[in-house]
């Protein structure tokens, strides 16, 4: 069963968003080299016959992210965070299509729907979709893109947890967790990027990782979960390298970043507390702020990464953990 840390996230700006709860193209980068230079040996490496150059202006998406000249920024609050007129596939949001394995949405979805303000132009929808069904996922995201002439962003947040000593893991348990925590996120990003490339959208992809991908969780034996989140962080770097440059055919310009939350009071974490007595107190003592996070405390970070406010940010991992990793 997958869990989304952004389950109750809402957006306070007019936007068109599709949400994939529990789910979470590929083109080569252009070769950025100039004229050959004199060869020379460098220790044991191969000889170098070319030197890297800065991207050509066409390959720099920054100028395309600027607001129109007639936009009166002085009379518009937080214009860089404005998502008006864009289409997003997220795990919780404003105008949203929520996709999950369950036949019906849960209470959190209903609460998010109640917070949608008609005057902002938002709406909330629900679709049944399993992250493990890569073909179905791809078709559904494609249908969303075709309906709206593209997708502007996605948040891939699939994740399950299993607490067990390493020597007790069975191969199928490892494969199941990785199929959701890593492959599900991978395929979500891939399907979204395919549509961004098809419609030549300068999109933003946000992968939900965890501080568990950066360190071992004291008191919690979860080697597969932690390593799967480390893989997600590395995946973001590689996708950013591949998709961020703008190609000559106008595709690309897709930013990819991670959010690595600290310990959050999600249903999955609460189950961990039931399984490991004293774990909550131990975690709270290790956090500078002395408490665990609530899911709604990550809405702003998601909005930042999806909007023009982060237009020069790609391949990064945004750690939000209450100071846990700063000791």
pLDDT in tens, 196-221: 999 999 999 999 999 999 999 888 89
Q: Give 38's pLDDT tier (boundaries 50, 70, 90).
A: very low
- Using left for φ > 0, alpha for ψ between -120 and 50, and beta otherwise, residue 92 falls in left
pLDDT value of residue 113: 66
Three-state DSSP at 42 gives strand
Out of 7, 16, 194, 229, which one is annotated catalytic? 229
Given the residues 225, 228, 244, 260, the one annotated as active site: 225
Hey, what domains does the chain have and what are their CATH numbers? Answer: 16-26+54-262+298-326 (3.40.50.720)
Q: 249 CB contacts (<8 Å, ≥6 apart)?
A: none
The whole-angstrom separation of Cα 266 and Cα 257 is 22
- The predicted model gives 176-187 an average pLDDT of 95
Other beta carbons within 10 Å of 156: 31
98-146 per-position pLDDT tens digit = 666 667 766 766 666 666 655 556 666 677 778 889 999 999 999 999 9
Q: Is 225 part of the annotated catalytic residue set?
A: yes
Per-residue pLDDT at 246: 95
pLDDT for 76 beyond 80 = no
Q: Which residue has the tokens 């949608």?
A: 116
Chain centroid to Cα 139, Å, comes to 20
Q: Is 169 a catalytic residue?
A: no
For the chain, the first-to-last Cα distance in angstroms comes to 33
Mean pLDDT of 253-262: 98
Q: Determine the pLDDT at residue 46.
A: 53
Question: Cα–Cα distances in Å, from 284 out to 261, 287, 296, 310?
Answer: 14, 5, 18, 31
| Secondary structure (H, E, C), 203-223 | CEEEEECCHHHCCCCCCCCCH
pLDDT band at residue 89 under the 50/70/90 scheme: confident
| 24 has a pLDDT exceeding 80 | no
Catalytic residue, candidates 19, 191, 210, 222 = 210
Residue 20, pLDDT above cutoff 50: no
Percentage of the chain lying above the pLDDT 70 cut: 65
Predicted pLDDT of residue 218:
85
Note the pLDDT of residue 12.
37
Beta strand 16-19 with 87-90 is parallel
pLDDT computed for residue 134 by the predictor: 94
| pLDDT value, residue 142 | 96
The answer on pLDDT for 27 being more than 50 is no
Cα 305–306–310 angle (5° rounding)? 45
Structure tokens at 303: 């909005």
pLDDT score for 326:
93
CB 240 within 8 A of CB 234: no
- Answer yes or no: is pLDDT of 82 > 80: no
Mean pLDDT of the chain: 78
Instruction: Look up 229 and say whether it is catalytic.
Output: yes
**Global pTM?**
0.75
């Amino acid at each position: 069963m997958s869990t989304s840390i952004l389950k109750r996230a809402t957006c306070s700006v007019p936007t068109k968003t599709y949400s994939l709860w529990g789910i979470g193209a590929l083109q080569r980068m252009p070769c950025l080299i100039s004229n050959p230079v004199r060869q020379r040996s460098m220790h044991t490496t191969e000889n170098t016959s070319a030197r890297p150059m800065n991207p050509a202006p066409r390959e720099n998406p920054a100028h395309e992210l600027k607001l129109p000249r007639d936009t009166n920024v002085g009379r518009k609050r937080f214009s860089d965070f404005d998502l008006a007129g864009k289409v997003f596939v997220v795990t919780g949001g404003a105008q949203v299509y929520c996709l999950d394995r369950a036949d019906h949405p849960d209470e959190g979805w209903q609460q998010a729907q109640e917070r949608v303000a008609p005057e902002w132009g938002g709406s909330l929808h629900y679709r049944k979709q399993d992250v493990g069904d890569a073909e179905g996922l791809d078709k559904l995201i494609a249908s969303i893109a075709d309906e709206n002439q593209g997708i502007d962003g996605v948040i891939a947040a699939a994740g399950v947890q299993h607490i067990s000593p390493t020597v007790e893991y069975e191969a199928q348990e490892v494969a199941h967790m990785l199929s959701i925590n890593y492959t599900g996120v991978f395929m979500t990003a891939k399907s979204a990027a395919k549509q961004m490339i098809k419609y030549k959208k300068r999109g933003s992809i946000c992968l939900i990782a965890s501080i568990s991908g950066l360190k071992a969780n004291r008191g919690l034996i979860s080697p597969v979960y932690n390593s799967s989140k480390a893989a997600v962080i590395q995946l973001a770097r590689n996708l950013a390298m591949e998709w961020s440059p703008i190609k000559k055919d106008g595709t690309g310009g897709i930013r990819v970043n991670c959010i690595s939350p600290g310990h959050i009071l999600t249903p999955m974490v609460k189950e961990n507390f039931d399984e490991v007595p004293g774990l909550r107190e131990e975690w709270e003592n290790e956090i500078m702020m002395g408490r665990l996070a609530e899911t709604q405390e990550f809405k702003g970070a998601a909005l930042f990464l999806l909007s023009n406010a982060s237009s020069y940010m790609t391949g990064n991992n945004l750690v939000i953990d209450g100071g846990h990793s700063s000791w």
